[in-house]
C-alpha cells in the first residue's frame, strides 16, 4: 500500500526516485540548509541516495516518513512534510520544508495537520514531537498552530547546537 494523503489544496505521497531533481533543489535552498541542515546532496544521484536511505527506508520501517508535497490543482511539487521517527527521540516528529516561493500560504499547517491526523488515526501514534533551531521563528509559529507546546531545549544526537523540542499528545 502506498501512503497518500490529500487535503483540499494539497496532495502528499511517498517519494519515488523520479523525484530526485525536485529533492536536489529543495535540499539546496539556503533556508533548508540554514534551518534543517546540509544533507550533502549535490547531484541527482545524491538525491536518489537521500530518498532511498531516508524517506523510502522510513516507509518500510515505520509505515510513515517525509512525503512529497504538491499542489492538488496541477501536482506542482512545493515541499515535503510527514512524520519522522528518529533514533534520538522517543516519539515521531513532524517534519516539513517548503520552497520559499510557497511560504505564507498556510500549506505547511494544512499538510502537517493532515500528516498528524493520519498518524493518530491510521498508525495509532499517541504523541507527536516537533524540533527546530531556536531562531527558526516560522517553524516555531507553525508548531504552535499545530498545538505543539515547548517542552525543552537541548542538543540531540552528536550535534552540539541545542534544538527546541515541542510536544502534543494526540
Tens digits of residue pLDDT in 70-84: 999 999 999 999 999
If you average pLDDT over every residue of the chain, what do you get? 96
What is the count of structural domains for the chain? 1
**pLDDT tens digits for 126-148?**
999 999 999 999 999 999 999 99
Q: Which domain holds residue 26?
A: 4-169
d(CA 85, CA 89): 7
CATH of the domain at 127: 3.40.630.30
Check if the beta carbon of residue 50 is closer than 8 Å to that of residue 39. yes
Residue 33, φ and ψ in degrees, nearest 5: -65, -40
Amino acid 161: pLDDT: 87
**pTM value surpassing 0.85:** yes
Mind listing the pLDDT tens digit for each residue in 56-108? 999 999 999 999 999 999 999 999 999 999 999 999 999 999 999 999 999 99
Confidence of residue 157 (pLDDT cuts 50, 70, 90): confident
| pLDDT average, residue stretch 149-156 | 95
CA 5 to CA 139: how far, in whole Å? 21
Q: How confident is the model over 9-16, as a mean pLDDT?
A: 98
Question: Which H or E run includes 132?
Answer: strand 127-132
Q: What percent of the chain has pLDDT over 90?
A: 95
The pLDDT score that the predictor gives to residue 163 is 95
Nearest partner of 105 among 65, 71, 147, judged by Cα: 71
| Residue 1 pLDDT > 70 | no
Amino acid at each position: 500500500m502506498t501512503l497518500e494523503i490529500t487535503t483540499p489544496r494539497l496532495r502528499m505521497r511517498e517519494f519515488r526516485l523520479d523525484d530526485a531533481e525536485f529533492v536536489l533543489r529543495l535540499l539546496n535552498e539556503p533556508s533548508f540548509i540554514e534551518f534543517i541542515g546540509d544533507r550533502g546532496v549535490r547531484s541527482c544521484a545524491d538525491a536518489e541516495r537521500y530518498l532511498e536511505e531516508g524517506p523510502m527506508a522510513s516507509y518500510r520501517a515505520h509505515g510513515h516518513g517525509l512525503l512529497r508535497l504538491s499542489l492538488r490543482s496541477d501536482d506542482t511539487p512545493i515541499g515535503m512534510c510527514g512524520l519522522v521517527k528518529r533514533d534520538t527521540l522517543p516519539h515521531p516528529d513532524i517534519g516539513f520544508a517548503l520552497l520559499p516561493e510557497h511560504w505564507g500560504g498556510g500549506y505547511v499547517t494544512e499538510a502537517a495537520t493532515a500528516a498528524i491526523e493520519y498518524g493518530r488515526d491510521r498508525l495509532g501514534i499517541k504523541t507527536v514531537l516537533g524540533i527546530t533551531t531556536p531562531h527558526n521563528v516560522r517553524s516555531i509559529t507553525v508548531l504552535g498552530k499545530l498545538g505543539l507546546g515547548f517542552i525543552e531545549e537541548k542538543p540531540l544526537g552528536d550535534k552540539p547546537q541545542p534544538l527546541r523540542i515541542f510536544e502534543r499528545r494526540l
